[in-house]
Amino acid sequence: MTTMKRKINKLYIYTAIMKKKIRFIILICPLLIANFPSYCWGFYAHQKINYYAVFLLPPEMIVLFKPNIGFLSEHAIDPDKRRYALPDEGPRHYIDIDHYGVYPYSNLPRKWKDAVEKFGEDSLKQHGIVPWHVQTMLYRLTDAFKEKNYSQIMKYSAEIGHYISDAHVPLHASSNHNGQLTNQKGIHGFWESRVPELLAETAFDFFIGKAEYIQNPGDFIWKRVLESARAADTVLTYERELSKKFADDKKYAFENRNGKTIRQYSSAFTIAYNKMLDGMIERRMRQSIYAIASFWYTAWVNAGQPDLKALATQKFTEADLKEFENLNKQWSSGGKMIGREEQ
């Protein structure tokens, strides 16, 4: 068999594996909805994005990330779970950038130190700090690579993926984050959860290319946040316009999941909204995948490109496993999310 044929066969195998794993996630999500707080479909998108980001990495990183792809997917949702336990977690997921004036919000310093001097740390946290927290996570991941710390590499890689994805969601860059100011409550979950749930498997393409080194991560993430901010009005306006064309009994549908009747946006309305947005949600998911892989790659390069082969067989410690267990217990205990809710 030629080298080219072997590569093609490997690609077919990878594709088959990915499809099986994503189908598994789809099957278990309804079960999670019935038993846990309502973040499953947001969970689905985060897990899918982290999953596909792995395949953009170079072979020197694939050797560690591919065997741990299940962990990176599953634990992409840990930051959301932590919102039920830590008061400081919420602001790491968003920035109400319209609080600082009008686009491009030049009143807001891009460097954390300058922003703190101008507005104060408490005020910044009140309105969200996602672009700065992404950079903090990059520093942590870089240090983990330098130290060849397996558990921290995996945890920080999974979690930075979550924050980067959040920065790509338009309503994570708007004070009207769930349409609560325009009588559109529920639009947050509709955009980032319902649409991917319905269409990602059949209509979205997540095979992108390769991760690239990011020369200026701060500029990169701020650019993506500003893109989100500019798109927020479109997300809200198009939903409002489309709603005028759908009676309530056509806009919403009821589904039975594990004996519970759930009201959600209908398939017809969801498909029409996605078409009206001209593929915005797919584009932002694709951009998230590329950004995550590139941030992982940048951290590894900045750490000196350490050899990761020896880490591929390492396991999490008992302390790590206990930490994951405790987080799941706190999340599934039926408690209330600390800070603002977005669903």
Please give the domain boundaries of the chain with CATH numbers for all domains: 3-332 (1.10.575.10)
pLDDT in tens, 219-254: 999 999 999 999 999 999 999 999 999 999 999 999
With a cut of 50, which residues of the chain have pLDDT below it?
Answer: 1, 3-41
Q: What is the pLDDT, as a whole number, of residue 41?
A: 33
Tokens at 29, concatenated: 């999500």
Task: Give the pLDDT of residue 17.
Answer: 44
Q: What is the pLDDT of residue 335?
A: 79
335: tokens are 């408690």
Question: What is the per-residue pLDDT for 42?
Answer: 64
Dihedral pair phi/psi, residue 65, rounded to 5°: -75, -35
The string of pLDDT tens digits covering residues 207-220 is 899 999 999 999 99
How far, CA to CA in Å, does 108 sit from each of 88, 98, 111, 165?
21, 10, 9, 22
Give the β-pairing of 252-257 and 260-265: antiparallel
- Global pTM reads 0.87
List Cα–Cα distances, 298 to 10, 94, 111, 211, 272, in angstroms.
26, 23, 19, 9, 38
Query: Whole-angstrom Cα distance, residue 312 to residue 120?
Result: 43
- Alpha-carbon torsion angle 144, 149, 151, 153, nearest 10: 30
The reported pLDDT for the residue numbered 51 is 97
* Per-residue pLDDT at 339: 81
What is the pLDDT, as a whole number, of residue 257? 65
